[in-house]
Structure 1
Amino acid sequence: MNAENYFWQGDRVRLRPLSASDAELAYEDSLDSSSRQLLELGIELPSSIKKKSSDLEAYADFKNAAGPLVFAIENLDGETAGFASLHSRHAKNGTFSFGVSISRQHRQKGFAEDTVRILLKYAFHERRFQKCNSSCVEGNEGSVRLHNKLGFREEGRRRRQWFMNGRYYDDLLFGLTREEFDASIG
């Protein structure tokens, strides 16, 4: 497949709609409790492949285009490496957010950065959004590095917003305007 000019492909990854075959990876990822804690979902109740399949079905083929847009992330060899979403889209204010989760065996390969760049390009250049708002729990150094690499500015923190491992953590707030994004891509 020659997809070098495909909008949804970056230097390292390609985004595609969710499919039933993604349920197994979603289930495997749900077993990575230390990583799941760093997502807003936190620790989930025990799950199954059947449950994950049902969860993914709700977002397959972008059925509810007004809700979160959820993608599977593939490396350029076609192996599923994680999941991403574009959500909290507010047309009136021109703001949005994103989520990205890379499976443990695919981390530290630049897949999250490439994925978010594709999502930012879509939101800013195709949907006319003007600002991306994002956040992560304090101590999630991988997410802080990702935001910094992408040109986000830390805009503040919400104190004691996350509860995990028996204590409260702050939520770090980040923002990136379209102009800042455009400057970062040259």
Structure 2
Amino acid sequence: MTSAWVGERVRLRGVEPGDWVAFAGFDEFSDDVRNSWFLPPPRSAEAAKRWAAELAVQDPGFDEFRLVIAVKEDGAAAGMINTQNIDTRSGTFSYGIGVGRPYQGKGLAREAVVLTLRYMFAERRFQKCDITVYGSNAASLALHERLGFVVEGRKRRSHYAAGRFEDVVLLGMTIEEFDQLHGL
């Protein structure tokens, strides 16, 4: 038996209360946190525990969900992927992804994205994924290019972080493009 949520190196799973330790550790890398959205002030261990505990008891939705990217070999929490901006009328969605510094460059993000896109396209009948990546996030831009996303435009000077304005790159992938590259 195989699971749609398991790849060669990762298993996507719900958040567990103990995951707070890994995610609190990832927060120590400010550049990585900025690349995900913005840099918030530090939170206490109790606040991080409460965050993970609250996520652990939420039922994931079918279309909008947040999953831990776990290393298949040992179950370690390596990052998170979440779907968002669901538009069922047009059949579009987006996602956000973050992988902790110790796990970057190992293909875990790529595999997590493919598993998530396959679910959204093949099980939930979406027809297109639209995402945004900050212009300074060269690693994410390269990842999405390798995945087959197409650059559809730029919003110039639309994001502020680390004392500077930067572009936001708009990328997209259709179900047909995904199927051709990765298979449904």
TM category, shorter: over 0.9
SS in 1 for 2:41: coil
C-alpha distance in structure 2 between counterparts of 1:32 and 1:148, whole Å: 24
Aligned to 1:130: 127
Distance 1:62 1:179, change over 3 A: farther
Deviating runs (4+, > 6 A) in structure 1? none
Please state whether the residue corresponding to 1:124 is helix, strand or coil: helix
Letter of the structure 1 residue corresponding to residue 46 of structure 2: K
Q: Which residue does the alignment assign to 1:81?
A: 78
- TM (norm. structure 2) is 0.93
Q: Which moved more, 1:48-57 or 1:30-39?
A: 48-57
* 1:28 aligned counterpart, secondary structure: helix
Q: Which residue of 2 aligns with 1:35?
A: 32
Q: Paired residue for 1:155, among 113, 132, 152?
A: 152
157-166 or 120-129, larger mean C-alpha shift: 157-166
- Structure 1 residue 60: deviation in Å? 2.5
Map Cα deviations across residues 67-121 of structure 1 (whole Å, 9 max, x no partner).
8411111111112211111111111111111111111111111000000000000
Alignment of 1:13-52 (within 5 A): 13-40=10-37, 42-52=38-48
Aligned residues: 182
Q: Secondary structure at the match of 1:18?
A: coil
Which residue does the alignment assign to 2:138?
Answer: 141
- Match in the other structure for 1:59: 55
| Distance (whole Å) between structure 2 residues aligned to residue 67 and residue 59 of structure 1 | 16
CA contact (8 A) 2:60 2:66 kept: no
Residues 8 and 62 of structure 1, relative CA distance in 2, 3 Å threshold: farther
Moved more, 21-30 or 122-131: 21-30
Q: Distance in 2 between matches of 1:86 and 1:59?
A: 15
Structure 2 counterpart SS, 1:38: helix
Higher RCO, 1 or 2 (CA under 8 Å, sep at least 6)? Answer: 2
- Give the equivalent residue in structure 2 for 1:94: 91
Q: Is the 8 A contact 2:63 2:120 kept in 1?
A: no
Contact 2:63-2:124 within 8 A present in 1 as well:
no
Gaps spanning 5+ residues in structure 1: where? none
Whichever residue aligns with residue 50 of structure 2, its letter is: S
Residue 38 of structure 1 aligns with an amino acid whose one-letter code is N
Tell which deviates more after alignment, 53-62 or 151-160.
Answer: 53-62
Alignment partner of 2:165: what SS? strand
Aligned pair partner of 1:113 in 88, 110, 114: 110
